[in-house]
Amino acid sequence: MNRFSESFSQTLKTIFSDRVALVTLVGAVILYSFFYPAAYRHQVAGQLPLVVVDQDHSPMSRELQRKLTALRAVHVLGVVGSMEQARQLVERGEVEAVLLIPANFQRDILRVEQGGLALFGNGTLLSRAGLSMQGAAQAIRAFAQEAALSQAQFAGLTAGPALQLIERPLFNTALGYGSAIVPGVAALIVQQTLLVGLAVVAATRRERQGKLQVSLPALCGIASAFAMIGMFSLLYFSGFVFWFQDYPRGGNLIGLLLAGALFIASVVSFALFFGSFFRTRERAFQLLTITSLPMFFLSNLSWPVEASPEYLVRIAQLLPSTPGINAMVKLNQMGARLAEVSGELTNMALLTVLYGALAIRRYRRREDQFSQRSPLD
């Protein structure tokens, strides 16, 4: 127990006396908690450019255009006379969507027939095109309700109240980029700062002493110190940052604490094993920095797992970030029950055992070789 407590306290002392390790483990977490969500400050894109191809030039087509100009989601860039002109604007990237109002649009409606409209989107940026088309569809639905009322009155029928469609998102209540992406990236930030921080400390010891071997109690003390910092970082994101940024949160607190503990344990085990291979501090930054983006995509948060190659799915399960990100999002943002994340919890527990055993094998030494000098001194 003395070796454990001495190693625990000495590890914390080493971290807080090493400027690079402190900035990585603490400063980077605070910096990214404000810097990364800033890119998604405007959660929902607005004023996306749209062009109208008006081939009818009737009062009804102009009324539809007026409804489009009242929307926040789209900005009517102008009215052109042909689809060829609209196509050129799309190819130059000047507009995201095209609304075609065909000839005889008003005549068909006044004859109590179905008026046809065509809405096209730029497939280069699907998210922007989807939002612009969704915004234009709102104006079209409002216009259709008024047209249906006019047709009913023209036919001498008594029109009832118009049916209104109210859309309520189940989880991403703001329908924003930040609410969908940042909670998952937060878990990755915690993992990467732990990986870099521990690798820096391990490489520093190797540069100074040329070896990493420590006793098992001392190794547990080192792991506990880093796990405590990682847990504080995870709770900082889940508790304060998500509240401050007004992201969905607090779905399943008990499950979040359990999954968070398993996630941090698997990350620390992985970091101890992975960090033991670094001989210089700089290598940790060079290698781990370029792996952040691939790790996020391998988690399949932004890409359906069913559309990923099977071998990539299997490889991704060897990374703590894959089950960790999915478990954190499901529990904190979606309010999932523990049974619904049992696969992720089992995955993280197995990774903790696997990388923990590998780390012990990398760091262990015979008991008679142990000295009273701190393993990280």
Q: Are residues 124 and 214 in the same domain?
A: no
Between 323 and 81, the more confident residue is: 323
Contacts 24+ apart (CB under 8 A), 134-137: 134/73, 135/48, 135/50, 135/71, 135/72, 135/73, 135/74, 136/50, 136/68, 136/71, 136/73, 136/74, 136/97, 136/99
Among 25-34, 38-47, 266-275, the range scoring the smallest mean pLDDT is 38-47
**Residue 169 domain-assigned?**
no
**Residue 165 domain-assigned?**
no
Q: What pLDDT digit, counting tens, does each position of 236-293 carry?
A: 998 888 888 878 776 788 888 999 999 999 999 999 998 888 777 777 777 777 888 8
Q: Are residues 264 and 360 in the same domain?
A: yes
**Residue 374 domain-assigned?**
no
Percent of the chain with pLDDT over 90: 21
Query: Can you give the residue range of the structural domain that contains 127?
Result: 48-154
How many CA atoms does the CB half-sphere of 12 hold within 13 Å? 12
Mean pLDDT of the chain: 81
> Quick one: pLDDT band at residue 168, thresholds 50, 70, 90?
low
What is the rounded distance in angstroms from the CA atom of residue 200 to the CA atom of residue 297? 25
Q: Are residues 230 and 341 in the same domain?
A: yes
Q: Are residues 133 and 66 in the same domain?
A: yes
What's residue 374's pLDDT? 41
Q: What pLDDT digit, counting tens, does each position of 189-226 carry?
A: 999 999 988 988 888 877 777 677 788 888 899 999 99
Residue 146, exposed/middle/buried by CB under 10 A (0-12, 13-18, 19+)? middle
Q: Are residues 150 and 99 in the same domain?
A: yes
What is the rounded distance in angstroms from the CA atom of residue 282 to the CA atom of residue 196? 10
Q: Are residues 111 and 202 in the same domain?
A: no
Query: Residue 60 maps to which CATH number?
Result: 3.40.1710.10
Between 344 and 368, the more confident residue is: 344
**Residue 377 domain-assigned?**
no
Neighbour count for residue 370 (Cβ, 10 Å): 16
Q: Which distant-in-sequence residues (6+ apart) come within 8 Å of 20 by Cβ?
A: 200, 281
Q: Are residues 285 and 313 in the same domain?
A: yes
Tally of domains in the chain? 2
Name the residue among 291, 322, 290 with its Cα closest to residue 305: 322
Parallel, antiparallel, or unpaired for β 97-101 and 74-80? Answer: unpaired
**Residue 80 domain-assigned?**
yes
Q: Which of 154, 186, 214 is the last residue of a domain?
A: 154
| Contact call for residues 121 and 133 (beta carbons, < 8 A) | yes
Q: Which of 154, 188, 208 is the last residue of a domain?
A: 154
Q: Are residues 8 and 66 in the same domain?
A: no
User: Does residue 160 register a pLDDT over 60?
Assistant: no
Most confident of the following: 30-39, 90-99, 279-288, 348-357: 348-357
What is the 3-state secondary structure of 166-220? CCCCCCCCCCCHHHHHHHHHHHHHHHHHHHHHHHHHHHHHHHHHCCCCCCHHHHH
**Residue 168 domain-assigned?**
no
User: Does residue 366 register a pLDDT over 80?
Assistant: no
What's residue 124's pLDDT? 67
Q: Which two tokens stand for residue 117?
A: 């409209």
CA-based Rg of the chain, rounded to a whole angstrom? 29
If phi > 0 it is left, if psi is from -120 to 50 it is alpha, else beta; for residue 84 that is alpha
Length of the chain: 377
Q: Are residues 59 and 24 in the same domain?
A: no
Q: Are residues 343 and 293 in the same domain?
A: yes
Q: 3-state DSSP call for residue 275? A: helix
Put simply, whether the predicted model's pTM sits higher than 0.75 gets the answer no
Q: Are residues 149 and 228 in the same domain?
A: no
Name the residue among 367, 189, 182 with its Cα closest to residue 263: 189
What's residue 158's pLDDT? 57
> Quick one: pLDDT band at residue 37, thresholds 50, 70, 90?
confident
Q: Which distant-in-sequence residues (6+ apart) come within 8 Å of 353 by Cβ?
A: none
Average pLDDT over residues 160-185: 68
What is the rounded distance in angstroms from the CA atom of residue 140 to the CA atom of residue 161? 18
Q: Are residues 188 and 241 in the same domain?
A: yes
**Residue 162 domain-assigned?**
no
**Residue 224 domain-assigned?**
yes
